[in-house]
Amino acid sequence: MNEGNGQAGVRYSDVDASYFERRSLRRHARVASLWALGVGAVISGDFFGWNFGLAAGGFGGLLLATVIITAMYTGLCFSVAEMSAALPHTGGAYSFARSSMGPWGGYITGLAENMEYILTPAVIVVGIGGYLGAIFGTPEAWAPLWWAVAYAFFVGLNVAGVEISFRFTVGITVLALSILVVFYVTALPHFDLERFALDMEPQPGGSRWLPLGWPGVLAALPFAIWFYLAIEELPLAAEEAHEPREDLPRGILLGLLTLVVCAFLTLFLNAGIAPGATALGTSDEPLFEGFRTIFGDGIGTKLLALVAVAGLVASFHTIIFAYGRQIFSLSRAGYFPRWLSLTHTRRQTPHAALLAGALLGYAVALVIHSLGPEHPVGAVLLNMAVFGAVISYILQMVSFILLRLRLPGIERPYRSPLGIPGAAFAGGVAALTLIALFVIDPIYQKVVIGAAVWYLAGLAYFAAYGRKRLVFSPEEAFATAARRVQASSHAASEGRPPG
């Protein structure tokens, strides 16, 4: 069966009822669980990653970059909230693009998001391995073992069931936020304006507040993204939420509000105490450095390091949830091999997708690790993840605009107050960040190769095989039905018979 003209030979296969019975998820999540899922996915960004923007642009440059990125995520989250309520399917970004741009648009968007969600946990597990290695005094060669242990435990937790997974998500997210609150309260007496505003010497064309000038703001954009990266994953929980049309927009926007508060408190208070913005710009443990300033070394370095691990664990666990659902949705629709969408008979969790994503992320980290110290694993993976993320953001905002223009009549239980201008702004800033990665980051030339291989391999698979074996999953059924309604309405407006 062909989907229609202009779809490059895309074909759908007939499946019986048992196909979907073996690919079913269990509803459990409500607003609190969805809020925790969104915040937990991002919270590690307050523990590490953002601070490299201090070296890239100085405090003023990172502050302005954070304001710009906060505005971008505001437009993005309002737009995603509208789309997730109108299209409450597990596919998320792929679902939005499928309905607005057809199968190829849906697949290209889903492939970009797949790169983001597979590689972001790999970035985080490298950090977890570093902290655990320091705590237990294991040699650097043991790092891949720590990664394997972390993947095994948290993939197992996600396979165990949606109920236990969400309970753990809420608990670890609250713990991570509590750690941040303790830091904010205890850092206030040590706060000193001089620490972040005046401790970097201005370069030619710069100033005390913008020591590297406006190029420094551009360079800091990718690092400011780490305050918010992955908040957009919430639509992937649509088929496990009791009231997705109401609860998904609430969860996304409450999560964004929480993260905005944390982002600016972390930026000001962590950079505003000793050792200061310049020293933090090259630190792998910025929050740990702050706790050392506040409490000293007397209470034990290892205990403080364990504190930071909670934030990393929160994001690691929740993004494993995200890639499991993302792979599940694309596989259920036939874009990826169909066996990846099989769910556990009793627990109804996508165990095949969870395991496959872990193996792929671990393998990529292991390959980069084997290249030697001149290829820092975390930095290379981070840039590849951001590459996938910003491409996904651009395509999601294009999807929002096209859905507004092409499918104005679909039910929208929630509407973005920022509308098309908000989506266009978010997409524009995402494109600017993509350019910044190429222009500013010297590591990025090598990252492009890895990203290109990932993309080309995925496109080759779909062109040769996947496009001929699609299935009318909920995402596909909605998209094709909406298209038929659109065609009928257009024909009626021109006085022609539909079809």
For the chain, the structural domain boundaries read 17-493
Residue 126: HSE in the Cβ half-sphere, 13 Å Cα cutoff: 23
**Which CB contacts under 8 angstroms, 24+ apart, belong to 31-35?**
31/247, 31/250, 31/251, 31/254, 32/170, 33/166, 33/169, 33/170, 33/241, 33/251, 34/234, 34/237, 34/241, 34/247, 34/248, 34/250, 34/251, 34/252, 34/255, 35/250, 35/251, 35/254, 35/255, 35/258
Q: Which two tokens stand for residue 93?
A: 């970004």
Q: What are phi and psi of 414, to 5 degrees?
A: -130, 140
Torsion-angle region of 102 (φ positive above 0: left; ψ -120 to 50: alpha; else: beta): left
pTM reported for the whole predicted model: 0.91
Q: How many angstroms separate the Cα of 202 from the Cα of each of 199, 224, 267, 277?
A: 9, 21, 20, 14
Which distant-in-sequence residues (6+ apart) come within 8 Å of 444 by Cβ? Answer: 383, 437, 438
pLDDT tens string for the chain (499 positions)? Answer: 444 434 558 999 999 999 999 999 988 888 999 999 999 999 998 988 898 888 888 899 999 999 999 999 999 999 999 999 999 999 999 999 999 999 999 999 999 999 999 999 998 898 888 878 877 888 888 889 999 999 999 999 999 998 999 999 999 999 999 999 999 999 999 988 766 555 667 777 777 778 888 889 998 998 899 999 999 999 999 999 989 999 999 999 999 999 999 999 999 999 989 888 888 887 877 888 888 888 877 665 567 667 778 889 999 999 999 999 999 999 999 999 999 999 998 899 999 999 999 999 999 999 888 877 766 777 778 778 888 999 999 999 999 999 999 999 899 999 999 999 999 999 999 999 988 887 776 666 677 777 888 889 999 999 999 999 999 999 999 988 877 766 565 555 555 555 4
Taking the CA atoms of residue 318, residue 319, residue 322 and residue 327 in that order, the dihedral angle to the nearest 10 degrees is -140
111 membership: H or E segment, kind and range: helix 93-136
Superfamily of domain 17-493: Amino acid/polyamine transporter I (1.20.1740.10)
Torsion-angle region of 105 (φ positive above 0: left; ψ -120 to 50: alpha; else: beta): alpha
**Peptide bond connecting 275 to the previous residue in cis, omega within 30 degrees of 0:** yes
Which distant-in-sequence residues (6+ apart) come within 8 Å of 267 by Cβ? Answer: 50, 62, 63, 66, 227
- Round to whole Å and give the CA distance between 447 and 452: 8
- Round to whole Å and give the CA distance between 368 and 380: 8
The CB density around residue 379, as the number of other CB atoms within 10 Å, is: 18
Alpha helices in 371-473 (DSSP H): 377-406, 419-440, 444-464
What is the model's pLDDT at position 293? 85
- Round to whole Å and give the CA distance between 422 and 75: 5
